[in-house]
């Protein structure tokens, strides 16, 4: 066995068994070979024995000579120690950390002097392994177990712990590492343990921590506020003073809980995020801004904003000192106070203000300007011309030149911010006296004012679109009125012809075709009336959930198998007052359009919910009043609608379908029905993702849901007698309609007086002096319209009955009559049986 104590270069290793043990088998084998060779020579006789003995001795001599040379040059050495790793032994012996090498079975192979010192052992014979020294302490037993487990598994591990009574009898902190060691000649795995006393390091850390804690305590309770913020505006630290000013709980501040926009009033946060400086520098900005408390109140402060800029000029994390101006005491400097108030006014005004040099580079900005232009004002190169879209750069540059030249009355320039927001801005320039200083080309040369007109432009566009739809509606309504007169004449005269032709007559089918196509045309006119909001509605108080539930089966059949239908009802939906059949038509039209937008299949979702007045602003629709609405959404996952098409979808006769596959009146009908119900409809679409139609219907305050009105049961013309007696005054300005109606009523036994205007009708009534039983009058007529005629009739005969006929809804003219006025109504176009039945039902008995 090697020595237990060794000295190398003045440094001793109390235990060093790193030299591998000799191989006794090899020694015995060598000795046996030599003895065998000697015995073999004894059996060789004669003269040849001497020759072999000489050869054997020559070989031994050669081996001896080579051994001497090897010893001389250091290849072979005597003794139990190898000297080829002396430098490593010196390093290990001089190490300040305790080192111990042990096998997996606990056999100690190497120990340096520092290990004995750290473990308090004087005699190397009493050296113990790390596990045996520290495992007895229950506070560190778990850490020692982890280290031992890592040593057995051949892994690296480090633990740091405190022992109440260390090996030297005093409390101490130790850092212990273990790692595997591969050593040739050792069959058992070895592990290297290093033990370091880190008590002083820990003590220094605790002292530093205490000093830091004292500094933080002082900073927290300093008479000024302080916070630090990351580049994304997240506040990482805030002292207690500032948290108290703002009304925040200090325990909940930090870890990204607050952002600059949460503590700065107005656009102050935007101003801080756009400050710029030279690359690689640290800059402090002094700004007068307003902070806002948790309750929303604001107060003036002066901040010292310190930022470190990266080499590329981008701002890094910031540290900010906050001085509360509202809590200042003492004598005030009027000039200084005026400057502070001006700075507050400058940074809190909603108008974006900046100063620019002669080339258009922005020098100073207020908070509103920083918010409006955002990323375009970050960095060193803040050029106002490059911040706007290309179309507005030329006029903006011309306005800048005029301002630099000192001119006044510069016309405003419209432009778009060249960014993702695409905000619309109106620019105003004002000249500065510094612009005339030729020695300072980079100085402030002009003042730039910018007004965000994005919402104004959007509202103008919506108003223009609404006015356009209103004008188109008026045109459509006028056309529908004239068409109704024409169709009434066609349908009526066709009915008169059918009376004189039997079904076996060859002309009978031709007349039926005329009537059939006239009725089809009447359907198109009804769509136009719906768009112009002049169709007849029968509103009822309904719950939309029940209506959509009844429609679900029919909608599923319309969509087919490729398209999935999902209906989500809101809870406790408010009541609405709508025409049930017309609302069903609205939903059906939207669902059919959604199906056509998904030729490969998809999903249609119908949602309903209540929208309170406080939620209206979230939809971003300026024309939608702040009131209580019931919202119906019809959303699809189709191809979407491009913006240039979406602006026209509600216009009559506009269609993107192939010729013959659509009239272009579906969405215009939807629009008219919703508007006539005093609601709103909006369309939002993303190409490639789908479309959503949102219908806002006004909330109806009613206790109970009105039951739908039952349709009157009428007898067929064959089963009911339509003849009658009495005198009817027919007032109609269209000759064809008047002619048809006269013949129809006379054929049923009535005596008919006709007039082509209200003035002529009054003359006939005066002539007959009460001999007229019923008046059938058009509504829209020259000289005197129907409601005016009725007022005059009431003066002459308060009990006279009247039937109004019109292509418009009765609500369109009912507002011109007295609230208690009674009359019958017959919508155009009407057939012969409709006219005679209305007269039969209204005629006094």
* Residue finishing a domain among 181, 196, 214: 181
Name the residue among 436, 458, 453, 454 with its Cα closest to residue 445. 436
- Give dist(CA 370, CA 272) in Å, integer: 8
Direct distance between the N- and C-terminal alpha carbons of the chain, in angstroms, rounded to an integer: 142
Judgement on whether residues 615 and 635 belong to the same structural domain of the protein: yes
Write out pLDDT tens, residues 165-208: 666 667 888 888 988 887 666 667 888 888 888 888 888 888 77
Rounded to 5 degrees, φ, ψ at 167 are: -60, -25
Judgement on whether residues 95 and 144 belong to the same structural domain of the protein: yes
Which of 728 and 383 is assigned the larger pLDDT?
728
- Split at pLDDT 50, 70, 90, the class of 243 is confident
Sign of CA dihedral 229, 235, 241, 247: positive
pLDDT at 632: 92
pLDDT at 605: 92
Q: Please state, as a whole number, how many other Cβ atoms lie within 10 Å of the Cβ of residue 142.
A: 10
Let me know: does 320 contact 304? Beta carbons within 8 Å. Answer: yes
Q: Which range is least confidently modeled, 258-272, 600-614, 785-799? A: 258-272
3-state DSSP assignment of residue 131: helix
Residue with tokens 């219907």: 697
Distances 43 to 51, 54, 58, 218, 769 between C-alpha atoms, Å: 13, 15, 19, 103, 178
Strand partners, 308: 282
pLDDT at 25 over 80: no
- Split at pLDDT 50, 70, 90, the class of 630 is very high
**For the chain, what is the domain count?**
6
pLDDT at 335 over 60: no
Judgement on whether residues 119 and 233 belong to the same structural domain of the protein: no
Q: Please state, as a whole number, how many other Cβ atoms lie within 10 Å of the Cβ of residue 349.
A: 16
Let me know: does 489 contact 734? Beta carbons within 8 Å. Answer: yes
Strand (E) positions, 14-125?
15-16, 98-103, 108-111
User: Does residue 705 lie in a domain region?
Assistant: no
User: Could you tell me the CATH number of the domain that includes residue 574?
Assistant: 3.30.565.10
pLDDT at 694 over 90: yes
* Residue finishing a domain among 285, 316, 332: 332
Which residues are CB-neighbours of 113 under 8 A, at least 6 positions away? Answer: 11, 12, 13, 14, 93
Judgement on whether residues 611 and 636 belong to the same structural domain of the protein: yes
User: Does residue 295 lie in a domain region?
Assistant: yes
Angle at 50 between CA 49 and CA 54, to 5 degrees: 120
Let me know: does 525 contact 484? Beta carbons within 8 Å. Answer: yes
Judgement on whether residues 627 and 741 belong to the same structural domain of the protein: no
- Give dist(CA 433, CA 419) in Å, integer: 33
pLDDT at 692: 93
3-state DSSP assignment of residue 94: helix
How many CA atoms lie less than 13 Å away from 505 in the CB half-sphere? 12
3-state DSSP assignment of residue 781: coil
pLDDT at 331: 46
pLDDT at 248: 83
Sign of CA dihedral 105, 108, 114, 119: positive
pLDDT at 635: 92
User: Does residue 196 lie in a domain region?
Assistant: no
pLDDT at 256: 66
- Split at pLDDT 50, 70, 90, the class of 713 is very low
Write out pLDDT tens, residues 54-104: 777 777 777 777 777 776 775 655 554 544 556 666 667 667 788 888 887
Judgement on whether residues 351 and 421 belong to the same structural domain of the protein: yes
User: Does residue 494 lie in a domain region?
Assistant: no
Task: Record the pTM.
Answer: 0.41
Write out pLDDT tens, residues 479-490: 666 667 777 778
Q: Average pLDDT for residues 350-358, to the nearest whole number?
A: 83
Write out pLDDT tens, residues 602-629: 999 999 999 999 898 888 887 888 899 9
Judgement on whether residues 568 and 691 belong to the same structural domain of the protein: yes
pLDDT at 620: 81
Q: Which range is least confidently modeled, 49-63, 323-337, 554-568, 805-819? A: 323-337
Radius of gyration of the chain (CA): 51
Judgement on whether residues 748 and 629 belong to the same structural domain of the protein: no
pLDDT at 664: 44
Q: Average pLDDT for residues 341-367, to the nearest whole number?
A: 77
Q: Which range is least confidently modeled, 701-705, 709-713, 786-790? A: 709-713
Distances 267 to 349, 351, 352, 370, 439 between C-alpha atoms, Å: 9, 11, 10, 8, 35
Which of 736 and 268 is assigned the larger pLDDT?
736
3-state DSSP assignment of residue 109: strand
pLDDT at 159: 87
pLDDT at 631: 93
What mean pLDDT is reported for the chain? 76
pLDDT at 436 over 60: no
Judgement on whether residues 745 and 786 belong to the same structural domain of the protein: yes
Quickly list H helices, 532-690: 544-559, 580-596, 643-646, 666-676
User: Does residue 492 lie in a domain region?
Assistant: no
Which of 253 and 703 is assigned the larger pLDDT?
253
Strand partners, 321: 226, 304
Strand partners, 305: 285, 320
Burial tier of 459 (Cβ tally within 10 Å: 0-12, 13-18, 19+): middle
Q: Which range is least confidently modeled, 115-129, 421-435, 524-538? A: 524-538
- Give dist(CA 825, CA 535) in Å, integer: 13
User: Does residue 143 lie in a domain region?
Assistant: yes
User: Does residue 714 lie in a domain region?
Assistant: no
* Residue finishing a domain among 437, 454, 471: 454
What are the respective helix, strand and coil percentages of the chain, to the nearest 5?
40, 25, 35
Q: Which range is least confidently modeled, 327-331, 410-414, 589-593, 615-619? A: 327-331
Judgement on whether residues 362 and 296 belong to the same structural domain of the protein: no
Among 762-766, 804-808, 817-821, name the most confident range: 762-766
> Would you say how long the chain is, in residues?
845
Percent of the chain surpassing pLDDT 70:
72
Q: Which range is least confidently modeled, 207-216, 280-289, 472-481? A: 472-481
Let me know: does 806 contact 778? Beta carbons within 8 Å. Answer: yes
User: Could you tell me the CATH number of the domain that includes residue 739?
Assistant: 3.40.50.2300
Q: Average pLDDT for residues 658-685, to the nearest whole number?
A: 72
Judgement on whether residues 690 and 782 belong to the same structural domain of the protein: no
Name the residue among 354, 346, 448 with its Cα closest to residue 403. 448
User: Does residue 486 lie in a domain region?
Assistant: no
Angle at 181 between CA 178 and CA 183, to 5 degrees: 155
User: Could you tell me the CATH number of the domain that includes residue 275?
Assistant: 3.30.450.20
What is the DSSP secondary-structure string of 382-440? -BTTTTB-HHHHHHHHHHHHHHHTT---PPPEEEEBSSSS--EEEEEEEE-GGGG-TT-
- Split at pLDDT 50, 70, 90, the class of 26 is low
Among 65-69, 81-85, 295-299, 585-589, name the most confident range: 585-589
Judgement on whether residues 71 and 94 belong to the same structural domain of the protein: no
Name the residue among 677, 650, 651 with its Cα closest to residue 581. 677
Q: Which range is least confidently modeled, 180-184, 311-315, 450-454, 839-843? A: 311-315
pLDDT at 171: 80
Tell me which residue range forms the domain holding 618. Answer: 535-698
Which of 263 and 663 is assigned the larger pLDDT?
263
pLDDT at 389: 79
Q: Average pLDDT for residues 527-553, to the nearest whole number?
A: 71
pLDDT at 716: 41
């Amino acid at each position: 066995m090697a020595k237990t104590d060794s000295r190398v270069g003045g440094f001793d290793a109390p235990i060093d068994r790193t030299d591998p043990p000799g191989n006794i088998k090899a020694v015995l084998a060598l000795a046996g070979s030599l003895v065998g060779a000697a015995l073999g020579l004894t059996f060789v006789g004669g003269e040849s024995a001497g020759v072999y003995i000489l050869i054997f001795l020559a070989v031994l001599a050669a081996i001896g000579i080579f051994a001497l040379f090897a010893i001389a040059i250091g290849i072979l050495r005597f003794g139990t120690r190898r000297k080829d790793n002396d430098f490593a032994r010196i390093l290990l012996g001089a190490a300040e950390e305790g080192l111990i090498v042990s096998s997996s079975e606990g056999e100690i192979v190497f120990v340096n002097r520092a290990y004995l010192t750290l473990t308090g052992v004087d005699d190397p014979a009493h050296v113990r392994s790390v596990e045996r020294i520290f495992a007895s302490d229950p506070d560190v037993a778990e850490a020692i177990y982890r280290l031992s487990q890592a040593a057995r598994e051949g892994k690296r591990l480090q633990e740091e712990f405190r022992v109440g009574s260390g090996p030297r009898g005093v409390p101490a902190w130790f850092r212990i590492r273990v790692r595997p060691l591969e050593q040739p000649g050792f069959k058992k795995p070895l592990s290297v343990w290093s033990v370091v006393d880190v008590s002083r390091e820990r003590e220094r850390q605790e002292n530093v921590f205490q000093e830091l804690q004292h500094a933080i305590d002082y900073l927290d309770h300093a008479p000024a506020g302080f916070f630090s913020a990351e580049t994304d505006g997240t506040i990482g630290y805030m002292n207690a003073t500032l948290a108290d000013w703002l009304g925040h709980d200090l325990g909940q501040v930090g870890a990204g809980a607050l952002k600059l926009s949460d503590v700065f009033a107005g656009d102050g946060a935007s101003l801080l995020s756009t400050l710029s400086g030279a690359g690689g520098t640290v800059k402090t900005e002094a700004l007068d801004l307003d902070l806002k408390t948790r309750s929303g109140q604001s107060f003036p402060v002066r901040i010292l904003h310190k930022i470190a800029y990266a080499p590329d000029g981008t701002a890094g994390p910031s540290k900010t000192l906050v001085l509360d101006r509202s809590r200042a005491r003492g004598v005030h400097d009027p000039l200084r106070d005026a400057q502070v108030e001006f700075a507050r006014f400058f940074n809190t005004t909603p108008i974006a203000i900046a100063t620019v040099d002669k080339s258009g580079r922005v020098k100073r900005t207020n908070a509103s300007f920083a918010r409006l232009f955002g990323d375009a004002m970050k960095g060193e190169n803040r050029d106002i011309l490059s911040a706007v879209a290309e179309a507005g750069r030329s006029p903006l540059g011309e306005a800048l030149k005029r301002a630099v030249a000192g001119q006044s009355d510069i016309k405003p320039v419209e432009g778009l911010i060249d960014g993702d927001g695409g905000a619309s801005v109106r620019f105003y320039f004002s000249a500065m006296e510094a612009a005339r200083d030729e020695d300072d080309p980079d100085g402030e040369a002009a003042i730039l004012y910018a007004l965000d007109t994005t919402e104004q432009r959007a509202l103008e566009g919506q108003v223009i679109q609404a006015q356009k739809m209103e004008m188109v509606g008026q045109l459509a309504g006028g056309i529908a009125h004239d068409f109704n007169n024409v169709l009434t004449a066609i349908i009526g005269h066709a009915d008169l012809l059918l009376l004189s032709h039997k079904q076996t007559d060859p002309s009978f089918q031709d007349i039926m075709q005329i009537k059939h196509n006239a009725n089809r045309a009447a359907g198109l006119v009804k769509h136009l009336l719906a768009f112009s909001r002049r169709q007849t509605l029968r509103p009822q108080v309904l719950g939309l959930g029940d209506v959509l539930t009844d429609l679900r089966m029919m909608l599923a059949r319309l969509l087919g198998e490729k398209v999935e239908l999902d209906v989500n009802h809101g809870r406790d939906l408010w009541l609405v007052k709508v025409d049930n059949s017309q609302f069903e038509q609205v939903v059906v039209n939207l669902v059919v359009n959604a199906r056509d937008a998904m030729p490969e299949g998809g999903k249609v979702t119908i949602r309903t919910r209540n929208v309170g007045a406080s939620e209206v602003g979230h939809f971003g629709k300026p024309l939608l009043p702040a009131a209580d609405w019931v919202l119906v959404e019809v959303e699809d996952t189709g191809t979407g609608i491009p913006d240039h098409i979406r602006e026209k979808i509600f216009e009559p006769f506009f269609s993107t379908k192939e010729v013959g596959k659509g009239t272009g009146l579906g969405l215009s009908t939807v629009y008219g029905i919703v508007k006539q119900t005093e609601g709103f409809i909006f369309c939002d679409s993303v190409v490639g993702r789908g479309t959503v139609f949102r219908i806002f219907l006004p909330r109806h305050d009613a206790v109970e849901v009105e039951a739908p009105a039952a349709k009157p049961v009428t007898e067929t013309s064959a089963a009911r007698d339509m003849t009658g007696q009495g005198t009817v005054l027919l007032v109609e300005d269209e000759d064809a309609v008047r002619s048809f109606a006269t013949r129809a009523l006379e054929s049923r036994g009535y005596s008919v007086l006709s007039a082509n205007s209200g003035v002529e009708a009054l003359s006939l009534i005066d002539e007959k002096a009460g001999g007229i039983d019923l008046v059938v009058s058009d509504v829209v007529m020259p000289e005197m319209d129907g409601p005016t005629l009725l007022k005059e009739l009431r003066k002459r005969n308060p009990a006279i009955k009247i039937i109004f006929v019109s292509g418009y809804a009765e609500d369109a003219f009912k507002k011109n009559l007295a609230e208690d006025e009674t009359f019958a109504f017959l919508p155009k176009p009407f057939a012969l049986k409709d006219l005679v039945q209305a007269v039969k039902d209204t005629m006094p008995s």
